[in-house]
Amino acid sequence: MAELRKKRSLTQQQLCDLVGVHVTMLSSYESSRSQPTLDVIRRMALALDVTADELVFDKAERQPQMLDKELLKNWEKIDGLPDDDKLAVKKIVAALLVKHSVELAVR
């Protein structure tokens, strides 16, 4: 929370004013001594212009994990391709997924 607040150049007091909590509560949230309610998380997300997930979960927890490491490496390489090649890869993958769905439906 503190990182997101500082990234937006807000002091604790400024964020507290936006969210409607006391600065001692915000301090306890930022130091993980206390957990905010869902309503406070919602108000903080709105004030910081982030999703609730960004407030609650670490970056690693928010990112989907790909178990097939070779596939992950290839996906990372694809990201460096020219846009027209990326589009071709997307179409091929979409076609394979449709094919798989049809095969499952026919069974």
Handedness of CA 80, 83, 89, 93 (dihedral sign): positive
**Count of Cβ atoms closer than 10 Å to residue 16 Cβ:** 19
Tens of pLDDT, residues 9-63: 999 999 999 999 999 999 999 999 999 999 999 999 999 999 998 888 877 666 6
* Residue 44, burial from CB neighbour count under 10 angstroms (0-12, 13-18, 19+): buried
Share of the chain above pLDDT 70, in %: 93
Cut 0.75: pTM above it:
no
List CB contacts of 68: < 8 A, sequence separation 6 or more: none
Among the listed residues 43, 50, 41, the one whose alpha carbon sits nearest the alpha carbon of residue 6: 50
